[in-house]
């Protein structure tokens, strides 16, 4: 997928996407960015739910802004909010959605739905009403509906938000399998998930693309430049380091400050950089 000079201005004047250009290829592509960065706006635009103000998006060499039906035929989408679920069981709801997606052959439809329910570990719950599902089960159901029709491009918006570690691992396992044969665009606030799952990623901020690349390569640029030390309990502000401070966080109840610096600041220890360090450095314009 080639995104070229994409902009989206909402009717209230908010510029949610600002002249964005990006190439997304096979595998899981991670989108990171603070709240309001424009991740959902980008995703909704790519799946054809809203028209951009300007720019072009090519998928399989087809301009999907001009021909939105092309992407709709090869698209799966798991939105952030799944909306109100009708009183139907998992199989019935998938069958309804499959018909809407144009899967006409009844016997194929049944095989396909049963296959997808197995893929997301819900085959034991096919006849249970979806509104009774736990959060994790709903997200797995959401992935099954996104996979209806075997789409080549799947968009998933914060699929593991609010899930327990076991469910999060389960969803990530499903995503990793799905990403082997198609493009998966994954938006999340979990930096660690992007590090584990994505070969390529982008950081968005205020509607703009800040940086794109491979998580492992991006982190390399920070080697020898990330330093940390415990902060004194009364050390509320650290003016000396405010310009280079990445974050102040807690480890085992103890407060730590982490800074970006070419040279070792007094009292600081060198740290192995993480993708979270890179994320904060990027958002704070330190790199
Ligand atoms: N329908 C809308 N009308 C007007 N402004 C909107 C609309 N949807 C989003 N916005 C604004 O566009 C900007 C980008 O929002 P968006 O939801 O795309 O960000 P996000 O990166 O997905 O955030 P989050 O991580 O909180 O989901 C924000 O300033 C938001 O308030």
The one-character DSSP state at 194 is H
Pocket test for ligand 1, best of 30, 40, 189, 206 (most atoms within 8 A of CB): 40
Residue 115 C-alpha from the chain's centroid: 25
Per-residue model confidence (pLDDT) at position 238: 61
Per-residue model confidence (pLDDT) at position 55: 95
Q: Is the pLDDT of residue 82 over 80?
A: no
Per-residue model confidence (pLDDT) at position 242: 61
Q: How far is the CA of 170 from the centre of ligand 1 (A)?
A: 28
Per-residue model confidence (pLDDT) at position 243: 65
Ligand 1 atom 2: the closest Cα is on which residue?
Answer: 10
Per-residue model confidence (pLDDT) at position 109: 96
Interval 122-131: pLDDT, tens: 999 999 999 9
Per-residue model confidence (pLDDT) at position 240: 64
The DSSP bridge partners found for residue 156 are 78, 186
100: helix, coil or strand?
helix
C-alpha span between 179 and 167 (Å, rounded): 18
Average confidence (pLDDT) over 233-260: 76
C-alpha span between 285 and 194 (Å, rounded): 20
Per-residue model confidence (pLDDT) at position 84: 62
**218 Cβ neighbours under 8 A, 6+ residues apart:** 201, 211, 275, 278
* Nearest atom (ligand 1) to Cα of 37: 21
pLDDT above 90 covers a percentage of the chain that reads: 70
- Report the mean per-residue pLDDT for the chain: 90
Per-residue model confidence (pLDDT) at position 69: 81
Residue 270 C-alpha from the chain's centroid: 30
């Amino acid at each position: 997928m080639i995104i070229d000079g994409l902009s989206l201005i909402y009717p209230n004047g908010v510029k949610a996407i600002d002249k964005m250009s990006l190439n997304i290829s096979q595998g899981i592509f991670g989108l990171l960015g603070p709240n309001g960065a424009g991740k959902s706006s980008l995703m909704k635009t790519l799946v054809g739910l809203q028209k951009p103000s300007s720019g072009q998006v090519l998928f399989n060499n087809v301009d999907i802004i001009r021909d939105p039906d092309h992407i709709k035929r090869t698209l799966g989408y798991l939105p952030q909010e799944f909306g109100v679920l009708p009183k139907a069981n998992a199989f019935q709801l998938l069958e309804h959605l499959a018909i809407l997606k144009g899967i006409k052959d009844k016997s194929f439809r049944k095989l396909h739905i049963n296959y997808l329910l197995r893929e997301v570990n819900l085959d034991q719950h096919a006849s249970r009403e979806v509104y009774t599902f736990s959060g994790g089960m709903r997200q797995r159901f959401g992935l099954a509906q996104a996979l209806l029709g075997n789409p080549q491009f799947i968009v998933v918006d914060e699929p593991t938000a609010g899930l327990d570690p076991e469910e999060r691992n389960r969803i990530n396992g499903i995503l990793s399998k799905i990403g082997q044969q198609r493009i998966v665009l994954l938006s999340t606030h979990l930096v660690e998930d992007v590090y584990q799952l994505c070969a390529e990623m982008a950081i968005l901020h205020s509607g703009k693309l800040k940086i794109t690349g491979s998580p492992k390569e991006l982190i390399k640029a920070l080697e020898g430049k990330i330093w940390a030390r415990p902060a004194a309990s009364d050390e509320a502000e650290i003016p000396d380091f405010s310009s280079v401070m990445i974050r102040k966080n807690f480890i085992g109840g103890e407060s730590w400050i982490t800074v970006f610096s070419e040279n070792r600041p007094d009292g600081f220890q060198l740290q192995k950089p993480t993708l979270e360090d890179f994320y904060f450095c990027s958002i704070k314009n330190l790199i």
